[in-house]
A and B are shown apart, each in its own frame.
Chain A
């Protein structure tokens, strides 16, 4: 599964990238929204994980562009505490789930699986 990961905090970006690669996902990291928009077509992700606050182009714009391209691409957004309004807006734009920072990488993994509907599949296999 191909995941487009968008996060401007590069240390975090790197850690999540490694974690997801370790699990077996094909991860493409982007450190700003503009780059993410370019990668939407080039990388054709199955899932997008994006921070809301990004340089140049916000995570909400990335979400909007992804949903405009295909409503079927699931999107998980990262938010900081106190960004309830932005999270609400993200859901209105079609976000599938959100994770509040600080979060555990295990939690992120579970949310990815839930969004992709693979938890049951894993359990059955």
Chain B
């Protein structure tokens, strides 16, 4: 307003005023460009500074863990000690050690753990474990687990039944990482569900371990938690735990369809003399899905004694079940192909198709 008061309309229209405004804008643009350049320069510096720290740190760690001597705290160079006081660089360094520990075993792996302790990172992991924020807690559990800090087992064990599924999952994996099969003791107290994904994860973690008796397996088969029962049945199937045959048979009368189905599947791997007959007995009261599971199991364990039952099933209304029963007959019964052929002669549809299908399928 002041400017407007000082300048008249004719002054505003003079060329000198336009030059002044243009010069002002030019200066403004130059200032803006300088600011942008300065900002980019700072960002670049901020990007490369931790990068150089990381490279230096990783090189130092690599040299240290490949040496034959122990790692004394006094050997931590001052430049790293200074950097490691900063939270982001500290986490950076910790992540590098975690990454390395996940990939290397043996003495080098042990030295990475020693370095983790020497640099005081365990306190950082515990701080995360104590955090009320779920993802920090998960990170803390993961770090302690990777670094095999088994003395933290009691605290981590309490989290295996946490209401947050991510915390629960990480804690369960940690217990397993610490103790292998014995770490599965969290199944004794688990009230939350064990998701299919987590079951797969745990089974995958088990794979490299040498099979050994699984303490608590028979108790888990009577758990109130259906997902624990299913998981225990899967373990019994994979590790062929014949000692729990009777408990698995009792799961055939479980109220949940998936438990009964898994029990029928498990029995295929731990079958005794009477198992096929037991499955045939349960068959009539099962859902179509579980009937197919039972027939699949019978393919491996049935014999001539089951032939009357199977011949009867060829007359069931469901073509999938007919195919399943026919498959068991031709694989397990003496002269099974002859029986199916005469059935196909009596009733070409669908038995001729089933016969041809099985000929093709079993030839492969």
Contact = CB atoms under 8 A, between A and B. Distances in A.
A101 B103 contact: yes
Contact of A15 (B54, B104, B105, B204): B104
User: In the complex, which range does the number of interface residues on chain B fall in?
Assistant: 20 to 34
Interface string B41-57: 00000000000001100
Nearest to A51: B103
A22 B66 contact: yes
Contacts of A117: none
Nearest to B107: A104
Interface string A84-112: 00000000000000000111111100000
Chain A's interface: helix, strand, loop or mixed, by majority?
helix
B119 interface: no
A12, A15, A82: most-surrounded residue (chain B CB, <10 A)? A15
Contact of A103 (B66, B96, B99, B103): B103
A18 interface: yes
Nearest to A7: B103
Chain B's interface: helix, strand, loop or mixed, by majority?
helix
B207 A11 contact: no
B66 A11 contact: no
Contacts of B61: 11, 14-15
Interface string B234-258: 0000000000000000000000000
A102 B102 contact: yes
Contacts of B54: 10
Interface string B251-294: 00000000000000000000000000000000000000000000
A123 interface: no
Nearest to B54: A10
A12 B106 contact: no
Interface string B19-58: 0000000000000000000000000000000000011001
Nearest to B106: A104
Given A81-B208, A82-B204, A11 B108 contact: no
